[in-house]
Amino acid sequence: MTIENGSLTIMNKIFTYIRRKLSVRVSLWVVFFAAIIFNVALGFLFYQSREAVRQEAISRATTILEKTSLRIEGILNRVEVASNMTKWLVQRHPDKADSMFVYSRGMLLNNPDFYNCSIAFEPYYFKDKGRYFSAYTKHTGDSLRTTQGGSDYYQYFFADWYLMSQLLGKPCWTEPYMDLDVATNTSEMVTSYCQTIKNKQGQVIGVINTSLSITWLSQTISAVKPYPNSYSIMIGRGGTYFVHPDTTKITRQTIFTQTLEHPDTALTALGHAMQRGEEGIKQMNINGEDSYVFYKPLGQTGCSMAIVCPESDIFGGFDRLRNSVRAIVLVGLLLMLYLFIRIITRELRPLRRLAHEAETIASGQFDAVLPDFQRVDEIGQLSQSFGNMQQSLVKYIEELKDTTAQKASIESDLRIASGIQMGMLPEKFPTKDDRDDVQLYASLTPAKEVGGDLFDFYFRDEKLFFCIGDVSGKGVPASLFMAVTRSTFRTVSAHESMPDRIVTLMNKTIADMNTNHMFVTLFVGVLDLPTGRLHYCNAGHDAPLLVGAGVGELPCDSNIPVGFMPTWKYSLQEAQIFTGTTIFLFTDGLTEAMNADYAQFQMERVNDVAFQALSQQQQEPRQLITRMTEAVHQFVGDAEQSDDLTMMAIQYIRQQSDVRMRKSLVLPCDLQEVPRLNAFVEEVCQEVGFDETVAMQAKVAVEEAVVNVMKYAYPPGQQRDVTIEAASNDVRLKFTIIDCGQPFDPTVQPEVDTTLTAKERKIGGLGIHIIRQNMDSINYERIDNLNVLTLRKKIVKIDN
């Protein structure tokens, strides 16, 4: 496993190297194709040459075999002719025993290559010679020895050679056998030609036996060697080896012996073919070597000889040549590869330098000096183009630097503007820990550095003033318009408590100075905190959701956005907000938030999220907005924020307490009634447990409020009443001062400046100031043509 990985790593390294080196790659391709061409050409050449060599070998071997067989046949013929001659001589002089020695000797004298010759006679043929007579001549060294063969120890007429020709009735060649020379006690493997001698009466009188030494024959045959490792074999009729390089096999084994142990059809077929006296060529495996076998019968002897030529011998020279050529080609290709790599590398060196310089330029050194190659080829052109590119780059970078610097300056301004804009928005949101009547949360996410959305809220006289708006367009113009809108809202709402009045006045102010035809959709609400009554005015903005007993839209009149028509009269609407209900306000950045597929978030999803929040009791402002924000982020995904997104949630949480005390007093509008009023207030204060100081504060405040009504509510001379109601629960004491005079909201009167000197101060205007200072809240409402002014003061319980 490790080794495999190791080799894999090495292979990877090699491939990576090749991929990185153009010179190596090109060279490899060239050499690869050259190798293919060489291979095909040489392959064809080798095939043709090999065929030629084979044909040559066949013809050569065949010729040699032919010659050898002719030669052997010549020898054998000579034996037969000489034997016939001698027979004739013997038959002419059959009674002269001594002549037989002469004939026998003469045979060997004339044919020195014969091994021996014996002319043997039937027992007692020569009466005087006894039972045995055989004229036997044999070479001994350089001379001939002629003796009388046959004795009691060698009764020749039982030998194969003596009997064979008689039995066959014709001269024949014996199978090889051991011939024992009694005189020298040496033996020799021989084959003999035996011919029966008959007298005139046709009786057998003896046998002429002429022997050839197998060893000599074998040498004669083996002397013929077409190839160094080729050898000859000769088999007899039965397949017995007469000639074989392994002398131990001669006469002891047949050509089939081997196939008994290891069946070899090719060898068997060869044996049979040779036995049948056929002539031919066989290609086969002999003793583990691919060889060609050329075989041919030897005349009438029944023997067959074969020349075995190993292929390695035949093709030895050819293979050596081929290997040499291959080696030369291989070395040539490697040399070629090396040279190509060197040449291409050298040719591409400028390119590498160019790459290096390009890297330098890429790293930011645009003043790097490019080499001048003085070349007109593609590399030279590239170098020149590169130089031009560098010059252009330097130029553009300079321009880019300027642009970037300008952009950075604008961005810096925008950042500051964004900071200023965000600073305009309220940052502290009251929670239930801060107030017991309302909690609120809002978030504004501009699409660009600065945005055109706005929200605002503040508390005045137990009322929550709030607004949300969306200026047409985005970016800097929208943000400026937003700033104007927001400050106008603050200015106007400081003196107006009714949203329709606030919006109408804002519209007039903004429309008068709106030369760029921008506009802002606006929702302004005033929530009366003690009662939960909401007054609102919607100027073309998305209707807020009420999340309380269920989820539903706050019904909104169709007013035009602020900024178009200075004379438009905006309508006022009213709703009762119940404890626990959250008012959810938003800009169209929420419903129109787009994901990457340009699908919008839409109102259904807003409703769904609100509904889920409600069902999980998560409708508190911060929770609701967090959930909504998460839902939008999940929906939008990675898409760029398309519009400013603003949300504001206001939850009314005031728990109404039980009324503990309720008293009322109706006074005519006569200042002389003030002591009665003060007595009433004193009594009430005593009842709720105010100490003298607090009671004094309440007394002064109520007096100021009531005197105000007495003095200004009615035209002079009209005798009307003013009603003072006092009510308390566990938490607060409330005075309600009601009159039916002309509408008058004391809460929007300008504040007195208490820091002026005595000379600068005006007489008057102190009343409302004293009320504000002495009471916790002051609230004016015009209900059913009545002025209703409510003053509240907390009851501080002193634990005993």
Partner 1 sequence: MKVRIEEQDGNAVAILEGNLDTAAAVETEKAMRPLNDVEGKDIIIDCTDMAYISSAGLRIFLGILQNAQAKGGHVYIKGINDNVRAVFTITGFSNIFEFK
Cα 272 to Cα 276: distance, rounded to the nearest angstrom: 6
Q: Give me the amino acid identity at 560.
A: I
Count of residues that bind partner 1 according to CB under 8 A: 32
Comparing CB distances to partner 1, the nearer of 649 and 791 is 791
**Closer residue to partner 1, CB minimum distance, 549 or 671:** 671
Minimum distance, C-beta of residue 701 to partner 1, in the bound complex (Å): 9
DSSP assignment letter at 381? H
Of these, 774, 779, 787, 790, which contacts partner 1 (CB under 8 A)? 774
Among residues 279, 295, 289, which one has the least CA distance to residue 314? Answer: 289
Q: How far is the CB of 690 from partner 1 (least distance, A)?
A: 12
Tokens for 746? 């004391």
Residue 418 CB neighbours (<10 A) = 16
Of 456, 703, 739, 781, the one binding partner 1 by CB under 8 A = 703
Q: Nearer Cβ to partner 1, position 467 or 698?
A: 698
**Closer of 527 and 681 to partner 1 (Cβ):** 681
Rank residues 592 and 673 by Cβ distance to partner 1 and give the closer one.
673
Q: Which is nearer to partner 1, 622 or 769 (CB)?
A: 769
Amino acid present at 41: A
Look up residue 775 and give its two tokens.
């009471």
Q: Output the smallest distance, CB 760 to partner 1, in A.
A: 9
3-state secondary structure of 59: helix
Considering only residues 499 through 528, tell me which ones interact with partner 1, judged by CB under 8 A: none
Find where tokens 């839209």 sit. Answer: 553
Give me 758's structure tokens.
Answer: 């005595």
**What is the Cα–Cα distance from 793 to 95, expressed in whole angstroms?**
185
The site map against partner 1 for 447-476 (x = CB under 8 A) is ------------------------------
CB of 751 to partner 1, least distance (A): 11
The smaller minimum CB distance to partner 1, of residues 414 and 707, is found at 707
Site residues (CB under 8 A) for partner 1, limited to 743-772: 752-759, 761, 763-764, 766-767, 769-770
Smallest gap from Cβ 410 to partner 1, in A, equals 48
385 sits in which H/E element? helix 378-424
Cα-to-chain-centroid distance, residue 149: 101
Question: In this structure, what token pair is assigned to residue 607?
Answer: 């409703």
Which strands make up the sheet holding 661-668, listed edge to edge? 661-668, 721-728, 732-739, 786-794, 777-783
3-state secondary structure of 373: coil
Candidate ranges 364-372, 452-460, 701-709, 786-794; the one touching partner 1 (CB under 8 A): 701-709
Residue 566 DSSP one-character state: T
Q: Which residue has the tokens 């390695």?
A: 312
Binding residue for partner 1 (CB under 8 A) from 700, 733, 775, 791? 700
Mask 704-733, x = binds partner 1 (CB under 8 A)? Answer: x--x--------------------------
- Give the three-state DSSP class for 438: strand
Q: Token pair for residue 745?
A: 């909201």
Closest separation between CB of residue 465 and partner 1, Å? 24
How far is CA 275 from its chain centroid? 73
Q: Which of residues 282 and 793 has its CB atom nearest to partner 1 in the complex?
A: 793
- Tell the residue number behind the tokens 């008293």, with chain if given: 663
Q: Dig out the tokens for 713 from the structure.
A: 């509510």
Q: Are 290 and 311 in contact (CB under 8 A)?
A: yes
**Closest separation in Å from C-beta 675 to partner 1:** 6
Contacts (CB under 8 A) with partner 1, residues 100-159: none
Residues 635-694 that bind partner 1 (CB under 8 A): 671-675, 678, 692-693
Q: If binding is defined by CB under 8 A, does position 697 make contact with partner 1?
A: yes
Token pair belonging to 67: 């010659």
Radius of gyration of the chain (CA): 69
Stretch that binds partner 1, among 103-111, 617-625, 698-706, 780-788 (CB under 8 A): 698-706
For partner 1, the binding residue among 696, 731, 748, 786 (CB under 8 A) is: 696
Contact 647, 589 (CB under 8 A): no
Which residue lies nearer to partner 1 by CB, 322 or 769? 769
> In this complex, which beta carbon is closest to partner 1, that of residue 648 or of residue 702?
702
Would you say 440 and 649 are in contact if contact means Cβ atoms under 8 Å apart? yes
Nearest-10 crossing angle of helices 316-362, 378-424: 40
Report the residue number, 585 or 709, with the smaller CB distance to partner 1: 709
| 724/758 Cα distance (integer angstroms) | 34
Query: Taking contact as CB under 8 A, which single stretch among the options 5-13, 81-89, 643-651, 702-710 is the one that binds partner 1?
Result: 702-710
CB nearer to partner 1: pick between 255 and 710: 710
Judge contact between 526 and 499, C-beta under 8 A. Answer: yes
Distance of closest approach, residue 733 Cβ to partner 1, in angstroms: 18
Interacting residues with partner 1 between 597 and 626 (CB under 8 A): none
Q: Which stretch binds partner 1 (CB under 8 A): 380-388, 415-423, 494-502, 703-711?
A: 703-711
Contacts of partner 1 in 3-32 (CB under 8 A): none
- Residue 369 or residue 763: which is nearer to partner 1 going by CB? 763
Q: Pick between residue 470 and residue 703 the one whose CB is nearest to partner 1.
A: 703
Buried b (16+ CB within 10 A) or exposed e, 181-213: beeeeeebbbbbbbbbbeeeeeeebbbbbbbbb
Report the residue from 773, 776, 782, 794 that binds partner 1 according to the rule CB under 8 A: 773
Residue closer to partner 1, measured from CB, 505 or 789: 789
Nearer to partner 1, 37 or 798 (CB): 798
What are the beta bridge partners of residue 783?
Answer: 786
Tokens of 379: 């590399």
Whole-angstrom Cα distance, residue 479 to residue 612?
Answer: 34
Residue closer to partner 1, measured from CB, 352 or 794? 794
449 contacts 414 by C-beta, under 8 angstroms: yes
Residue whose pair of structure tokens reads 């075999």 in the numeric block? 65
Angstrom distance (rounded) from CA 83 to CA 193: 8
Asked whether 285 and 249 are in contact (CB, 8 A), the reply is: no
Q: Whose Cβ is closer to partner 1: residue 521's or residue 697's?
A: 697
Q: Does 699 bind partner 1 (CB under 8 A)?
A: yes
Q: Is 368 in the site for partner 1 (CB under 8 A)?
A: no
d(CA 554, CA 704): 39
Distance CA 640, CA 131 (A): 138
Distance CA 525, CA 588 (A): 18
CB burial class (10 A; 0-12, 13-18, 19+) of residue 646?
buried
Structure tokens at 38: 């060489």
Single-letter code of the amino acid located at 98: D
Taking the C-alpha atoms of residue 646 and residue 452, their distance in angstroms, rounded to an integer, is 10
Binding site for partner 1 (CB under 8 A): 671-675, 678, 692-693, 696-697, 699-700, 703-704, 707, 752-759, 761, 763-764, 766-767, 769-770, 773-774
